[in-house]
Amino acid sequence: MDTRSHLPVNRRRRSLMAALPLLVCGLGLGDARAERSVLRDSRLLMGTRVDISVAAANPALARRAINLAWTEMGRLVDMMSHFSATSVVAAINLAAGVQAVQVPAELMRVLKMAQQESVRSRGAFDITVGSIRGWSFDPHQPGMPSGEAVARQLPLVDFRRVVLDEQAGTAFLTQRGMRIDLGGIAKLPILEAGIETLKRNGIASAMINGGGDVAVGGPLEERPWRIGVRDPRAPQRLLGVLPVTEGFVVSSGDYERFFMRHGQRLHHILNPGTGRPTEGLRGVTLVARDLESVNGVGASLMVAGAAAARQRVRREAGLEGLWVKADGTLSMSPGLAHRWVGA
């Protein structure tokens, strides 16, 4: 389960490049015509850098659409961040064990996705892992809870105690002290909302890269966007390139945000069963056309391991991926291998 935090702005800026597991290539070399038609904008959002790239013949229309996309994504971040005291998620956490909280439709959708992925993964994904407090993966101020603190908080981690009433539009955590953290499942819906906003405002070709998770809406000049995937074993190196015209490319890994303690790499994806960082995989990259097929799955597989990754991509149509085990062994689904372009 992804527990990446919203770092203070000055520290976020220093850590942006280290936090990007994907490198977005976007254009083919020498494609000057496509290069001239692409407008780009970047901002800090969700604790990382978010890049919007759109292809449009009308720059004024493109800039207006980009600004509207930023506004919509910012609205959803304000709703779903547990770091903001005024967010709906913060209200749910504050009311744990006391009362249900009214939630907007966009948040209910994300909570339902989390619930479904928790069931599919048999608890490998669990937003209530936010109940484990004390971890800090800020490289400048790392921190970890004691074993006693983790053991005391682990009984609060149980996705079955998140009660959703779709008819009433409410969410309720049944036990005092429980907290949800949507860090592993809210980002893609927010990026998707940005893409949909761009489409509604006249943009037929766009890509949004949110700290390495990429949403693509429409081809670039009738050609795919080219998404470069970093190697989990050596994140400074490009492993290969994926051509994408529509959908999502998502990466999770132990190299994104971590600190070293007694020779052990402690990273931001926590195992809901132990309250500690996962140990099964070094990294996983997944590709799917629709959001429901991929959202939350990367964090699940980081917990569940290589065998689960192999079974998941084999079982679910439309989901492809690659994963790297702790010993450095890389595996790739046949469908992804067919699309893959080596670096």
Query: Residue positions in the annotated binding site for Mg(2+)?
Result: 184
Q: If we measure between CA atoms, which residue out of 281, 276, 285, 260 comes closest to residue 326?
A: 281
- Residue matched to tokens 């079982």: 315
Non-local (6+) Cβ contacts of 162 within 8 A are 111, 114, 115, 127, 128, 171, 172, 173, 174, 180
Q: How far apart are CA 20 and CA 51, in angstroms?
A: 11
- Sign, Cα dihedral of 177, 183, 185, 190: positive
Query: Using an 8 Å Cβ cutoff, are 335 and 321 in contact?
Result: no
Distances (CA, A) of 165 to 79, 119, 185, 225, 295: 18, 17, 19, 40, 21
Query: Using an 8 Å Cβ cutoff, are 256 and 19 in contact?
Result: yes
Q: Which residues are annotated as a binding site?
A: 184
Query: Using an 8 Å Cβ cutoff, are 288 and 53 in contact?
Result: no
